[in-house]
């Protein structure tokens, strides 16, 4: 039984899940909107919102705190350009917003296997 075990398995091993989440969060920050299944969108939503909150906190803090938060984000994202975009473009956009940076819109079932497809996007201010 998986009582009180957080997270979705997504029919993958631990390393595959971690890589999938990392790639999808990078794609979300790159394109600001991606089409995927509902389970995958729900799996990455929390991580994306936590990274935006981390970037907001780093931008408003002192120099030492900013370096620390950039390193934390870099450890979770693996792409230096995406970290730069997160801190310079995405986080300032949500400076006055207390949370809820993403939106999930239902698109209907996929033709091949009837998987529920959704559009996950960053909310525009």
Write the pLDDT tens digit of every residue in 50-68.
999 999 998 887 788 889 9
Instruction: Specify the pLDDT at position 12.
Output: 93
Residue 125: is it exposed, middle or buried by C-beta count within 10 angstroms (0-12/13-18/19+)?
Answer: exposed
Q: Express as a percent the part of the chain with pLDDT over 70.
A: 99
At residue 78, the pLDDT reads 86
The pTM of the full predicted model, rounded to 2 decimals, is 0.91
Q: What domains does the chain contain, in order, with CATH numbers? A: 14-122 (3.90.1030.10)
Q: Count of CB atoms within 10 A of residue 43's CB?
A: 19
């Amino acid at each position: 039984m998986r009582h009180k075990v957080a997270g979705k398995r997504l029919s993958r091993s631990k390393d595959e899940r971690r890589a999938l989440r990392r790639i999808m969060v990078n794609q979300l920050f790159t394109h600001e909107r991606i089409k995927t299944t509902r389970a995958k969108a729900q799996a990455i939503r929390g991580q994306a919102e936590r990274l935006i909150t981390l970037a907001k906190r780093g931008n408003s803090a002192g120099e030492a705190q900013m370096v620390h938060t950039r390193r934390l984000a870099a450890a979770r994202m693996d792409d230096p350009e995406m970290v730069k975009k997160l801190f310079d473009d995405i986080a300032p956009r949500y400076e006055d917003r207390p949370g809820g940076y993403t939106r999930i819109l239902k698109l209907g079932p996929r033709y091949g296997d009837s998987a529920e497809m959704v559009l996950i996007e960053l909310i525009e201010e």
